[in-house]
Amino acid sequence: MSEIQITSTMEDYLETILQLNREKGAIRVKNIAKKMGVKMPTVTNMLKTLNEKGLIDYEKHEYLELTRTGQKVGKEIERRHNAIRSFLTEILKLDPVMADEEACKMEHGMSSETLVRLTKFIEFVQSCPRTGASWLNYFEDYCANGIKPEKCEEHMKNFKMNCDSCITDIKQ
Amino acid sequence: MSEIQITSTMEDYLETILQLNREKGAIRVKNIAKKMGVKMPTVTNMLKTLNEKGLIDYEKHEYLELTRTGQKVGKEIERRHNAIRSFLTEILKLDPVMADEEACKMEHGMSSETLVRLTKFIEFVQSCPRTGASWLNYFEDYCANGIKPEKCEEHMKNFKMNCDSCITDIKQ
DNA sequence: TATGAAAATTAGGTTAATCTAATAAAATAT
DNA sequence: ATATTTTATTAGATTAACCTAATTTTCATA
């Protein structure tokens, strides 16, 4: 019924406002414009829209605040953004700047189910005794040099040697 | 310089046309409209645009073909789509239908570097002796039931027992 | 406190992607 | 071969997100 229609552009603005809110205290049209890479009149228009949709509280020339709903939406997008960025930088080991840009573009299509699952996956890779940092290093090597059976075997032998202590670690 | 400007919507149409081309032989305005979830006049307009940009060959009421460039763009998008869908279904084990829908939305923001890396990652998870199907099963269990040290230990012991034969397997 | 600079808004326009209603062309069936 | 149905196109409108140029408001400071 009373579904507010929120475009992905609006989501981006809310995310930006949330960030600015944390960084500085006061949120200015000028700053939003800069962060979003648009001109100030574009921001003014969008603020009017967001206000009408009940996502921010804004009277022209006055301070701006996210409403409860606006915060919820902004934070949800931020979570997706962070999950994608983490995956790209911490798992795939891609360049952080690029990862951040891509996260911006990919975040909107992502369902909350996928968000949960991806977040858990990152956690799992990093904490599972079978994977963790050493496995990720080997992935990097695999990307750079392709499949090398002898390297793979060497890796497995090293891993096996650490297995006993590893199992003990888990016990604690 | 002579950069043809291609929007993500245009990319979607090219991907759809590519798919229709494989599925059936003849590509109809009606079918494109259905697949894209838009009305026929929208398609007619877009075909005019794609034609002007040199991405398809189309004379009204006649057969439609992708140009070399159009094919290249369509296939590139398709690769991203497939990579994301594979990650979501084969690694995260999410519902295929939802995965396909999400891939549609996320594919456009993805760089070719990320595509390459993600593809390799999927390969790596599936083929590395430390991970593979059994590890993915454990991930599912982890998602459903959270961290269970005793389960984890049990898993590690089973894994360790298979290690020797595994190392031999790699040798071949 | 008056004034010049900075910030924000308004006015008016553009583009991409969509729509509906009306018309035209092509395909099918009588 | 003609009439009917299906498919496609044209015409004209709408919406979201952007822009530039002009104006107004606010703020800092001389």
**Structure confidence by residue, pLDDT tens digits, A133-164:** 989 999 999 999 887 778 777 777 777 777 66
Which chain B residues touch A109 with a CB distance below 8 Å? 102, 104-106
Residues 6+ apart with CB under 8 A from B6: B53, B55, B73
Query: What per-residue confidence (pLDDT) applies to A24?
Result: 77
C26 C1' to B70 CA distance, Å: 27
**Which two tokens mark B161?**
């027992």
Query: What per-residue confidence (pLDDT) applies to B74?
Result: 97
Q: Which amino acid is at B155?
A: H
* Strand D lies under 7 A from the Cβ of residue B105: no
Residues 44-73 of B with CB under 7 A from strand D: 44-45, 47-48, 60-61
Tell me the pLDDT band of A167, cut-offs 50, 70 and 90.
Answer: low
Q: How confident is the model over B55-84, as pLDDT tens digits?
A: 999 999 899 999 999 999 999 999 999 999
Q: Select from B114, B143, B147 the Cβ nearest to the Cβ of A102.
A: B114
Residues 6+ apart with CB under 8 A from A128: B135, B138, B139, B142, B152
Q: Do B135 and A131 touch (CB under 8 A)?
A: yes
Q: Which residue is nearest to nucleotide D24 (CA to C1')?
A: A61
d(CA B112, CA B107): 11
d(CA B18, CA B66): 8
Count interface pairs A-B at CB distance under 8 A: 120
Identify the segments of chain B with pLDDT beneath 70: 1-2, 163-172
d(CA B155, CA A129): 10
Which chain A residues touch B124 with a CB distance below 8 Å? 139, 142
Angle (CA) A37-A4-A65 rounded to 5° is 55
Q: What are the CA-CA distances from residue A47 to residues A6, A118, B151 (Å)?
A: 13, 32, 52
Tell me the pLDDT band of A26, cut-offs 50, 70 and 90.
Answer: confident
B58 SS3 class: strand
- Taking CA–CA distances from A107, the nearest residue in chain B reads B106
Beta-bridge mates of residue B57: B65
d(CA A128, CA B138): 10
Instruction: Specify burial of residue B51 (Cβ count, 10 A radius: 0-12, 13-18, 19+).
Output: middle
Q: Which of B7, B11, B94, B121 to mutate to test the interface with A (most CBs of A within 10 A)?
A: B121
Query: What per-residue confidence (pLDDT) applies to A151?
Result: 77
Beta-bridge mates of residue B65: B57
Q: Which residue is nearest to nucleotide D18 (CA to C1')?
A: A42
User: What residues of A are in the B interface, CB distance below 8 Å?
Assistant: 88, 91-94, 98, 102, 104-106, 108-111, 113-114, 117-118, 120-121, 124, 127-131, 135, 138-139, 142-143, 147, 149, 152-153, 155-157, 159-160, 163, 166-167, 170-171
Average pLDDT, chain A: 90
